[in-house]
Amino acid sequence: MVKKPNLLFFGIDSLRADHMSLYGYNRLTTPHIDKYAEGGIVFEYCFSPSIPTTPGYASMFTGRDCFGTNIVALRHKGGYPEGVKTLAEVLKENGYNTTCIGFGGNPASRGFDKYIEYEGWGSWEAGRSHKAENLNKVAIPELERLAKEDKPFFLFMRHMDPHSPYLPPEPFHRIFYGGNEFDPNNKSLEPVYAFKPFRDYFYTWFPPGCTDKDYIIAQYDGAVAYMDACIQNILTKLEALGLEGETLVVITADHGETLYDHDCYFDHHGLYDCTLRVPLVFRFPGKLPAGKRYSDYCQLKDIMPTILEILEIDSGLEFDGRSLMPLTRGEYREPEPEFYITECTWMRKHGWRTPEWKLIQALEPDFHFKPEIELYNLIKDPEENNNVADKEPGVVKMLLERMQQHIAKREKEVGRVNPIYTNLDWHGKGCGPFKTSQQAYDTLHIGDPEAARKLQAQLDKKK
């Protein structure tokens, strides 16, 4: 019996595609991934339609949309619906050893044989954060262990470097910045420090007295470049073990990141494309074409069915996503140009995205005091800076109708109410939906990296 291929899976938290040189960013942030991807296939427009972490990985690991996973909130309570299997569970049933690094305790990560944690956070007081090196210290020995087994393996690694706090070590913290981050005449961080829900958190990892937003953005880019160099270490080890020819490598992200965009400072909320658009790379020498880039729209729900087709595993499961492999064979794959989007992190919203239009509807008042309806023309205004909802009432009406038709169709198919309507304690405050933006602003608060870490890891059960 021929041994099945291995799966090496990089899940990178908070990596926005447009800050990767792989996708044309003007800073050389991902040189190693860029070169590696030349030997595989790259998808130009992959979207994570339900943000943030928990629903993003839920979709990635099940091949389902948010209706199928019944998960939309970061602070999700409970597990998947009955009958939903994860990628780890399917591969385990097919004889794989499965290890998850850096993602224990989250309902989206169910089904691995082994969970290994590492220090993936940090603060200014604790010094520069060697997140990716910390991951490598546990991932490389585990890769060596798995390589010695007579079973194929699935090794999943959750990289945290692009996730705040952005504290890349030397020399990466200054490779994209040559200015004076303490310039008293620079006022760009004043609105950031004035944003009460997050400012105490920012004080714990911004350099004391920092005034320049571009310095903080350069820290994000530096963290990505640092991680890219560390990822090369794992890819080099894979090659040294003689496993490259029998291993499928996948690189993607659970969602993107807002930097200084849309007042959603240095986080990943807001249904804008900086948060929704993520990288997607597949490489498997001899099994996948090299040097191919595809501009077809795809989503995280397409990843699991694609992986199973490449690994030649018939799970017998139904997916909401569809394999991307027909594109590699020059076959027709029906496009999915418009889709439903949700967020349930610091705001509860949903919307509808087409190649031309982005509709965002708030389901309760948000802490940025934004209007209930936002509409952006993605062709004329790709950065989504000009809300034209008042000028285009007919477009708003049409998109709302299309969205509601989709919701009704999916609710009927899964036999459940849309989870964005049922997760009313998404913020963990126990007060139900916010009645005003001021209430949301006064209630939501994140104080330090430890609080953020617990929130991500779902360890803070009392809140």
Find, among 23, 264, 13, the residue nearest to 120 by Cα. 13
Whether residue 421 is predicted with pLDDT greater than 70 in this model: the reply is yes
The model's confidence at residue 120, banded by pLDDT at 50, 70 and 90, is confident
Whether residue 338 is predicted with pLDDT greater than 90 in this model: the reply is yes
CATH dotted code for 339-457: 3.30.1120.10
| Distance, CA of 144 to CA of 237 (rounded, Å) | 9
Average pLDDT over residues 103-130: 88
CB 269 within 8 A of CB 343: yes
Radius of gyration of the chain (CA): 21
Q: What is the fold of 6-328?
A: Alkaline Phosphatase, subunit A (3.40.720)
Whether residue 458 is predicted with pLDDT greater than 80 in this model: the reply is no
Q: How many residues does the chain have?
A: 463
> 147-175 pLDDT, tens per residue?
999 999 999 999 999 999 999 999 999 99
What's residue 459's pLDDT? 35
| Distance, CA of 274 to CA of 106 (rounded, Å) | 24
Contacts of 37 (CB under 8 A, 6+ apart): 22, 251, 281, 283
The model's confidence at residue 1, banded by pLDDT at 50, 70 and 90, is low
| Distance, CA of 424 to CA of 209 (rounded, Å) | 38
Quote the tokens at residue 17: 């595609």
What's residue 452's pLDDT? 57
What's residue 448's pLDDT? 64
> 174-204 pLDDT, tens per residue?
999 999 999 999 999 999 999 999 999 999 8
Which has the higher per-residue pLDDT, 113 or 104? 113
Find, among 304, 176, 155, the residue nearest to 231 by Cα. 155
Domain ranges of the chain: 6-328, 339-457
Give the DSSP H or E segment for 408: helix 393-414
The model's confidence at residue 257, banded by pLDDT at 50, 70 and 90, is very high
| Distance, CA of 338 to CA of 432 (rounded, Å) | 31
| Distance, CA of 218 to CA of 223 (rounded, Å) | 8
Average pLDDT over residues 395-410: 98
List, in sequence order, every residue forming a beta bridge with 7; answer none if it has no partner.
Answer: 154, 248
Helix (H, G, I), strand (E, B) or coil at 182: coil
| Distance, CA of 250 to CA of 11 (rounded, Å) | 8
The model's confidence at residue 449, banded by pLDDT at 50, 70 and 90, is low
| Distance, CA of 174 to CA of 264 (rounded, Å) | 24
Instruction: Give DSSP secondary structure letters for 79-124.
Output: -PPTT---HHHHHHHTT-EEEEES-TT-GGGTT-SEEE------BT
| Distance, CA of 452 to CA of 180 (rounded, Å) | 29
CB 252 within 8 A of CB 12: yes
Contacts of 173 (CB under 8 A, 6+ apart): 128, 167, 218, 219, 222
| Long-range contacts from 194-199, C-beta under 8 angstroms, 24+ separation | 195/263, 195/265, 196/441, 196/442, 196/445, 197/346, 197/367, 197/441, 197/444, 197/445, 197/446, 198/265, 198/266, 198/267, 198/446
| Distance, CA of 300 to CA of 292 (rounded, Å) | 19
Q: CA dihedral defined by 13, 54, 350, 398, rounded to 10 degrees?
A: 80
| Distance, CA of 226 to CA of 357 (rounded, Å) | 35
Is the CA virtual torsion 235, 236, 241, 246 positive or negative? positive
The model's confidence at residue 463, banded by pLDDT at 50, 70 and 90, is very low
> 384-393 pLDDT, tens per residue?
999 999 999 9
What's residue 461's pLDDT? 42
Find the range with the poorest average confidence among 65-74, 324-333, 445-454. Answer: 445-454
> 264-308 pLDDT, tens per residue?
999 999 999 999 999 999 999 999 999 999 999 999 999 999 999
What's residue 77's pLDDT? 84
